[in-house]
Chains A and B, each alone.
Chain A
Amino acid sequence: MALPPAGYLDAASGQPLNPGAAQALAAAIDAGWADPVRLYRDGRRAALLLEAARESVASRVGARPADLVFTGSAAQALRLGLTGALAARPGPLVISSVEHSAALAQGDAHAEAGGEVRPIGVDRQARVDAAAFAAALPGATLACLQAANHEVGTLQPLADVVAACEQAGVPLLVDASTVLGRLDPPEGWSILTGSAHMWGGPAGVGILCVRRPTRWQPPLPHDERGPELLSVPLALAAASGLEWADEQRQQDAVRARSLTDEIRSVVARDVGDVMLLGDPDERVPYLTAFSCLYVDGESLVLGLDREGYAISSGSSCVADTRRPSHVLQAMGVLTQGNVRVSLPFGVTDDTVRGFLAMLPGVVRDIRALVQASEGGSR
């Protein structure tokens, strides 16, 4: 199979096209270029291909085809999902404090418009307490919870929250971006969102599933095309990418788990003054994170990039806002020198071992520089 670029360890920000998606894309651009609402042959063909893509993705995520729309990104799917549900049933929103920033921004907009938001805090592993989540549900009209945390990998207690939402009669939006194509899809949701880029489909495709009879109102005024915002060829490539990912994922998960376990133990042993983050066991197998004392995240990202390794960081100096990641803050853990490693499909042992061999020296050099500048600043 095709391999991801050497040194690429940021699958949670997006994977390169997997072989299934890559193979489908060129053919999809040739066959599905036309406007699918037109009645002539090329338009009909685009519409047929689009429906095939919809059926394929829907069957793999446990949705009915009629309940799935393709969007321009996972963040857009989240925003449309939340806004449309709250428009159809205005009322309190229960949402964890470690959701994707797009979901939290939508929650802020709900509060600014006079709506009620009930934020649910997390423990040190970024896990919500299912009982606390359940206690906030009475009277709410929508709940929102990720399947797993995108920055530290911890799996949320989804089964318990699903049961509580069913009992309380509150629809649950599940952000499944970190798990679709890598683990079994979540069950029991009313609304589901996901990202093709994270299963090795093309960037620029999200999915939004609204399971009937969940009430949901398209938030944007729409015409005969309906609420869907999409490119037919990209949707086709996303569907083929998910098929490919689903065939690989069980084998991949076993290997990824053993590699991320190795990352955790080697980092703890060789880096020093480091805090491993997220649940060591109950986490997505391909993702892990840690924070290093006395290191700034920007130097770490750029230092590792110079050595050929791509990782992401939730440290404040990496963010445009100059604030640490809201996830790390909600967990109450060390935010400086933060590293998130997420393995793409087909990552080589050489990439992971090379990263682990390089990391302690990069950290040591940054610590020495920081100590020298700190000493010189007074």
Chain B
Amino acid sequence: MMKADVRLNERGHRCPIPVVSVARAARDASSGTIIAVVCTDPGAASDIPAWCEMKGVDFLGSQAEPDGAMTYFVRIR
């Protein structure tokens, strides 16, 4: 599993809450910080990478969790 400095559990939270939560965590994070966010909302698959693009954050990838959730990894520039 990819290492993360901050882990956010957004299981059960629907769009746009997971993205709002990542944005909040990113605001206080220093350059190079890796944030992992676990989501069950299907919109996150498009919206986390789109948020990264709009905000100049690196999208590192995603990984499926055993419970069906997806974890998305982003790195603050």
Residues of A participating in the B interface, judged by any CB pair closer than 8 Å: 273, 275, 291, 293-297, 315-317, 322-324, 328-329, 332-337, 370-371, 373-375, 377
Contacts and interface: CB of A to CB of B under 8 A. Distances in A.
Interface of B: prevailing SS: helix
A370 B20 contact: yes
Contacts of B45: 329
Contacts, number: 71
Interface string B24-60: 1000000000000000011101110111001000000
Contacts of A377: 13, 17
A329 B42 CA distance: 10
Interface of A: prevailing SS: loop
22 contacts: A275-B50, A275-B54, A291-B50, A293-B54, A294-B23, A315-B43, A316-B14, A316-B41, A322-B14, A324-B15, A324-B42, A328-B46, A332-B46, A332-B50, A334-B51, A336-B15, A336-B19, A370-B17, A371-B20, A373-B17, A374-B21, A377-B13
A154 B51 CA distance: 23
Nearest to B48: A334
Contacts of B19: 293-294, 336
B16 interface: yes
B46 to A, nearest CB: 5
Contacts of A334: 46-47, 50-51, 54
- Size bin of chain B's contact surface: 20 to 34
Interface of B: 13-17, 19-21, 23-24, 41-43, 45-47, 49-51, 54
Contacts of B50: 275, 291, 332-335
B62 to A, nearest CB: 13
